[in-house]
């Protein structure tokens, strides 16, 4: 029995907050549609309320709508305006982003984190010296993912994966969707991998399953594009004040740039 059905069955009033566009795995159970089906089974009523605004991204609904537009959730071709209070920038290297995030982190601990699409392997063992492996490599840039749950002896100076978001040492590791989802930071850096690409036939955002290292996503090609878009929509909206992005695929980067107001 789904947990949401258990909640409806045993409570007088149940309140669900749900965002269907944060579903990132085929194995996840839960959607607005499934919630709507439960009350009828127990002669209960249902009342839906739409939250029109949010406090992430400087409260900028325009930014969120722009991200959804670029990712193809709608046919509306929105443009990111330079006067938007939210600080969104595209960088030429991930190291530039990391340097800026470290400055933000010095000013306010636990206010900045780097995240990435799951396009690099995630080592379940430490290296020969007992250190975390720098799995996320792009040119001269190299950082480890958050600590794998199979690594029981955490190297000095690092924290366990579930501590990545709220302990200062987390700034030294790259987070993935599974650790970043549900958290927010003042500033977030996002490395967008080759799993988000451009469809040469349509000229629009698509997804490449061959680029992912996520074993769960590789199992189901049917909904892969939807999940990849949901992943990046979520990662790109973890910042309260700013989001700094690096693209490994330059066609995808240019696609985003064309939807931004030129200086």
Task: Write down the pLDDT at residue 30.
Answer: 60
**What order of strands is seen across the sheet that includes strand 174-175?**
87-90, 239-247, 185-192, 112-116, 174-175
pLDDT digits (tens, 9 = 90+) for 165-207: 999 999 999 999 999 888 899 999 999 999 999 998 999 999 9
Q: How many CB atoms lie within 10 A of CB 137?
A: 13
Residue 9's pLDDT is what? 72
* pLDDT, position 39: 72
pLDDT digits (tens, 9 = 90+) for 75-104: 888 898 877 678 999 999 999 999 999 999
Tell me the β-bridge partners of 116: 191
First to last CA, the chain: 54
Residues making up the chain, counted from first to last: 263
Query: From CA 99, how far away is CA 121, in angstroms rounded?
Result: 23
What's the predicted TM-score (pTM) here? 0.84
**Residue 85 φ/ψ, nearest 5 degrees:** -65, -25
CA distance 59 to 85: 9
Give the burial class of 124: count Cβ atoms within 10 A of its Cβ; 0-12 exposed, 13-18 middle, 19 or more buried: exposed
| pLDDT value at residue 103 | 97
* Domains of the chain with CATH codes: 3-41 (no CATH), 58-258 (3.40.50.300)
For the chain, list residues with pLDDT below 70.
Answer: 1-2, 4, 17-31, 33, 52-60, 84, 263
Interatomic CA distance for residues 77 and 65, integer angstroms: 10
How high is the mean pLDDT of the chain?
87
């Amino acid at each position: 029995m789904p947990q949401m059905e258990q909640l409806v069955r045993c409570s007088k009033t149940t309140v669900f907050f749900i965002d269907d566009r944060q579903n990132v795995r085929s194995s996840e159970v839960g959607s607005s549609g499934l919630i709507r089906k439960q009350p009828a089974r127990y002669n209960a009523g249902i009342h839906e309320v739409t939250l029109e605004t949010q406090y992430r991204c400087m409260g900028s609904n325009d930014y969120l709508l722009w991200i959804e537009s670029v990712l193809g959730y709608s046919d509306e071709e929105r443009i990111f305006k330079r006067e938007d209070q939210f600080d969104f920038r595209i960088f030429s290297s991930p190291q530039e982003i990391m340097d800026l995030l470290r400055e933000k982190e010095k000013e306010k601990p636990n206010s900045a984190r780097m995240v990435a699409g799951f396009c690099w392997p995630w080592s379940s063992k430490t290296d020969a010296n007992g250190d975390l492996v720098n799995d996320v490599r792009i040119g001269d840039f190299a950082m480890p993912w958050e600590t794998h749950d199979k690594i029981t002896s955490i190297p000095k100076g690092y924290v366990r994966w579930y501590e990545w978001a709220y302990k200062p040492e987390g700034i030294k590791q790259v987070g993935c969707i599974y650790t970043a989802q549900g958290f927010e930071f003042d500033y977030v850096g996002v490395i967008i991998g080759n799993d988000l690409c451009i469809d040469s036939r349509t000229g629009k955002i698509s997804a490449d399953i061959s680029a992912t290292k996520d074993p769960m996503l590789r199992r189901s090609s049917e909904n892969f594009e939807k999940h990849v878009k949901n992943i990046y929509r979520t990662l790109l909206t973890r910042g309260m004040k700013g989001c700094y992005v690096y693209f490994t695929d330059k066609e995808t980067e240019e696609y985003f740039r064309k939807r931004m107001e030129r200086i």
